[in-house]
Amino acid sequence: MIKKTICIVLIMLMISSALVGAVNIIEENNDETIIVEMTFGDFEIKNTDTGNEISVENFGGLLLPGAPNLPSKIFSIAIPPGAIAEDIDFEIQNSVTIPGVYSIKPNALPRVIGQENPIVYEQEQQKYNENYNLIYGSDQPYPSSVVEFVRTSGYREYNLVDIRINPITYYPISKTLVYNSDITVSIKYTYPEDYSAENIMVDTLPRTEKFAQEIIFNYDQAKLWYTTAPLGRESYDYVIITLDSLTSSVDSLADWESVKGRSVNVVTTSWINSNYAGYDSAEKIRNFLRDKYPSDQWGIMDVCLIGNYDDVPMRRTAQNSGYGQPETDFYYAELTKPDSQSWDSNSNHLWGEDSDTIDFYGEVSIGRIPWSEPSTVEHICQKSVAYEQNYDESFKKNILLLGAFFWSDTDNAVLMEYKTNPSYQPWMEDWTRTCMYEDSQSSYPCDYDLSYSNVKMSGLPVHLLLLTGQVMEILMLVTNITRHNHLLI
């Protein structure tokens, strides 16, 4: 058996859910250890014109440009509340060399939609070449480890350790593949000196527990560490955060959510700014949500931000080389730790840097109506309610498909057809599809050529829009369309 110790190094990677496994907990001296046994599904190898592709059931892939495209997946393992992960070990229980020789394709460079920044492209191309030459010019195993520590994270009350599993090992020069199908992972943890069971969050809600069960590998074990929420508390599972000037404009939405059985509270940014500390308004809003989302407080599950991005601010993140400062509302969804330990862990007021320890589980769901004009907001809320109250299938089963080209070789009509054509989606057989593709280039038939004027003049009674591609003028038009319809991008 192969045994390795993983040093805890922070890597920002997306999280996936678990497959199968058994869970044990043991005590060793003064430390405690979580042991999980993991078994993975079948693998498949395909031959292509440019090399071999290998996949493992329910796994994604390692996407490092210039490196071999191999299966990979991130698993979240719970450790007890308040515990700190100290060491992670693993043992490979079953390892098989796959017969044959294989030329595994490297991952391509990401491609930019729109105007390419030549300086950034040159930098990325250089990284691609370095990765390719380093990995393919050697017979060292890639990836170097079957199990990698990713980060510590959390979902609501659960204390998590995220690990990446790379079940396929590739030896580039000898072109050999090894499948590691059974692995045992051990996580040793300790408690800080100031640990107290009184600090354990109380946060048991049926909907959030269902999601926790999907993402936590040892959920059945972890749920026993927590108590249920007390009765008789304030409860607001749906919170609207808006401006003082818009409180009456959102009445129709708040009333309808209440009719549906939700417990709704409308909170203004001015009230939050007066009652919560923070570097700026955005941090104050996040601190408010961190305080109130647990079920022993309000039990918040859904948040609707209503206001322009500057009035109810999005979080502007750190400078991204060549691409400005991205803004995001996910800042208000990921609430595991305070800014000083997550989004701005070095307290330099540059949020979301590579060194900042953000995880990718949203404790609450976030939506936004990005307007601050009262009549506009009132109109959108009323139309949203009317949409939900409308049971007319002749309206709701109409969809407008706008499929452009990302690049000269990428026709997004392929996506439109896959998502909606009854040949692939039989449940949409009785839907009315209106297709607008780039008629001069696309190999798929369409009802109209994709153009601003055709979208604007169609007057189609559609309730869904599926949009993709380089159609910036249409995106401008969609701002108005979405007041009456639902948009998928």
Give the span between the Cα atoms of 430 and 398, in whole angstroms.
9
Dihedrals phi, psi of 397, to nearest 5 degrees = -105, 35
Q: Which residue from 3, 20, 16, 186 is spatially nearest to 92, judged by alpha carbons?
A: 3
Q: pTM (2 decimals)?
A: 0.80
pLDDT digits (tens, 9 = 90+) for 44-97: 999 988 899 999 999 999 989 999 999 999 999 999 999 999 999 999 999 999
Tokens of 369: 């109506």
Give 29's pLDDT tier (boundaries 50, 70, 90).
Answer: very low
Q: Amino acid identity of 425?
A: Q
Which regions of 156-301 does DSSP assign to beta strands (E)?
Answer: 158-165, 168-171, 176-190, 238-242, 264-268
> Quick one: which of 380, 377, 237, 381 has its CA closest to 307?
377
Neighbour-count burial of 78, counting CB atoms closer than 10 A to its CB (0-12 exposed, 13-18 middle, 19+ buried):
buried
d(CA 263, CA 224): 28
Q: For 113-156, where are the E strands, in sequence order? A: 147-155
Q: Is the dihedral of CA 36, 37, 42, 43 positive or negative?
A: positive
Question: Which residue ranges make up each domain of the chain?
Answer: 2-225, 238-369, 392-488
**Taking 80 as the threshold, does the pLDDT of residue 209 lie above it?**
yes
| Residues 184 and 37: beta-carbon distance below 8 Å | yes
The fold of 238-369 is Rossmann fold (3.40.50)
Distance from C-alpha of 474 to C-alpha of 481, rounded to nearest angstrom:
10
Tokens representing residue 446 in the block: 């369409």
Q: Is 50 exceeded by the pLDDT of residue 373?
A: yes
Q: CA 362 to CA 371: how far, in whole Å? A: 24
Which distant-in-sequence residues (6+ apart) come within 8 Å of 78 by Cβ? 34, 158, 159, 160, 161, 216, 217, 218, 219, 221, 222, 225
Residues in the chain: 489
Nearest to 467 by CA among 211, 51, 131, 113: 113
Under CATH, which architecture does the 2-225 domain have? Sandwich (2.60)
Dist CA 378 CA 249 (whole Å): 4
- Helix, strand, coil shares of the chain as percentages rounded to 5? 25, 30, 45
For 216, 390, 401, 420, 450, the CA distances from 433, given in Å and listed in that order, are 39, 19, 7, 8, 14
Q: Number of helices (H) and strands (E) in the chain: give both, helices first.
A: 11, 23
pLDDT of the residue at 28: 47
Residue 155: per-residue pLDDT: 95
- The span from the first CA to the last CA of the chain, in angstroms, equals 48
pLDDT at residue 21 above 60? no
Predicted confidence band of residue 455 (pLDDT cuts 50, 70, 90): confident
Query: What is the tens place of the pLDDT at every residue in 418-444?
Result: 989 999 899 999 999 989 998 788 989
Beta pairing partners, 242 = 268, 306
DSSP state string for 203-241: ---HHHHHHHHHHBTTHHHHGGGSPPPPSSS---SEEEE
Which long-range contacts (C-beta less than 8 Å, at least 24 apart) are formed by 116-121? 117/322, 117/323, 119/322, 120/321, 120/322, 120/323
**C-alpha–C-alpha distance, residues 402 and 384, integer Å:** 22
CA dist 35 and 186 (Å) reads 4
Residue with tokens 């045992």: 184
User: Tell me: the pLDDT tens digits for 298-353?
Assistant: 999 999 999 999 999 999 998 665 566 789 999 999 999 999 999 999 899 999 88
> Is pLDDT larger for residue 451 or for residue 17?
451
Residue 382 predicted with pLDDT over 60: yes
